Amino acid sequence: MNRSEVVHILESNDFHAKTKFGQNFLCNENIINRIIEVSGVGPDSICLEIGPGIGALTEPLSDLCSKLTAVEIDKELFSYLEETLGDKVELHLCDYLKLKKSDYIKTPYDHVLSNIPYYVMTGIMKKLMVDCGNAEKMTFMVEDEAIARIICEPSTKQYGPLAVLVGVYGSAKREFTVPSDCFYPMPHTTSAVITLTRTERGFEITDDFCSFVEASFSKRRKTLSNSLSAYLSTVDVKISLKDALKSLGLEENIRAEVLKPLDFVELYKLLLI
């Protein structure tokens, strides 16, 4: 889908890109092809796309993969997609953050893609890792400046819950930059495509694990034990945090930002599973 096709679809349907839904539509064929290439989607893939928009990725994906489900919040765009791609794609009209797992996962997805609406990036990525943690690969278009929070090492300023969840899910790679003129309308920032490739760890990312990680970072300047004290008083722990840290060879006064993603997994298992 190129720029004049995007403009034509929007104008002929009297659609106006909605800022409140983070609508910046891809209008560069080369970028669309590269996204599909790095996603690793093939003829056997069962795919999920969040925010299909007017179908820039949806259409080529639907021709390529075995099954595609897409979730769109915007009623107008949903109706347009139903008309144009309804027989090739299972469409859901709703806010993805409110969608119940059982309502959209019949067969597990092996690939997830999203030119992610930037205003809900963190929420969407977290929900995907909880609901679709078994997917072998996730491919996202994100704001370039947000990558520092997604792909970073412990003990850095940006390291936090999102980087921990991504690290537990698998390995992350920044694939390529996408200049703002590849979208219509143009966003204010440069974007980039990243891929997350799953590593089998025999551990499921759950909402409870997310809450544990978030609580761990609730007081960044304090010790882990201080940050977690309120959270731990609301759950049944198997052993004390002090003993759990000791058995993992970690200091009692350690701070969350020093722990590696898999340290959070081990700690969580000792305390709560």
Q: Which residues bind ligand SAM (CB under 6 A)?
A: 21-26, 50-53, 56-57, 71-74, 77, 95-97, 115, 117, 120
For residue 94, the minimal CB distance to ligand SAM (Å) is 7
Question: Which residue lies nearer to ligand SAM by CB, 53 or 167?
Answer: 53
Quick check: 172 and 195 in contact, CB under 8 A? yes
Buried b / exposed e along 94-109 (16+ C-beta atoms within 10 A) = eebeebeeeebeeeeb
- Beta pairing class for 111-115 and 191-198: unpaired
Please report, in angstroms and rounded to a whole number, the separation of the first and last CA atoms in the chain.
48
For residue 202, the minimal CB distance to ligand SAM (Å) is 31
Token pair for 89: 């794609």
Question: Which residue lies nearer to ligand SAM by CB, 24 or 227?
Answer: 24
Question: Which residue lies nearer to ligand SAM by CB, 72 or 110?
Answer: 72
Report in angstroms the alpha-carbon separations of 113 from 76, 153, 190, 231: 21, 24, 19, 33
- Beta pairing class for 137-143 and 67-72: unpaired
For residue 66, the minimal CB distance to ligand SAM (Å) is 20
The 10 Å Cβ neighbour count of residue 270 is 17
Question: Which residue lies nearer to ligand SAM by CB, 51 or 161?
Answer: 51
Report in angstroms the alpha-carbon separations of 133 from 26, 202, 272: 27, 11, 20
For residue 37, the minimal CB distance to ligand SAM (Å) is 15
Residue 186: which of 3, 58, 52, 21 has the closest Cα? 3
Residue 165: which of 147, 175, 151 has the closest Cα? 151
For residue 187, the minimal CB distance to ligand SAM (Å) is 8
Buried b / exposed e along 229-256 (16+ C-beta atoms within 10 A) = eeebeeeeeeeebeebbeeeebeeebbb
Strands (DSSP E) along 104-227, which ranges?
111-115, 137-143, 170-178, 183-184, 191-198
Question: Which residue lies nearer to ligand SAM by CB, 193 or 244?
Answer: 193
For residue 251, the minimal CB distance to ligand SAM (Å) is 40
Question: Which residue lies nearer to ligand SAM by CB, 154 or 187?
Answer: 187
- Beta pairing class for 67-72 and 46-50: parallel
Question: Which residue lies nearer to ligand SAM by CB, 180 or 218?
Answer: 180
For residue 74, the minimal CB distance to ligand SAM (Å) is 4
For residue 32, the minimal CB distance to ligand SAM (Å) is 8
Residue nearest to ligand SAM (CB): 51
Question: Which residue lies nearer to ligand SAM by CB, 141 or 228?
Answer: 141
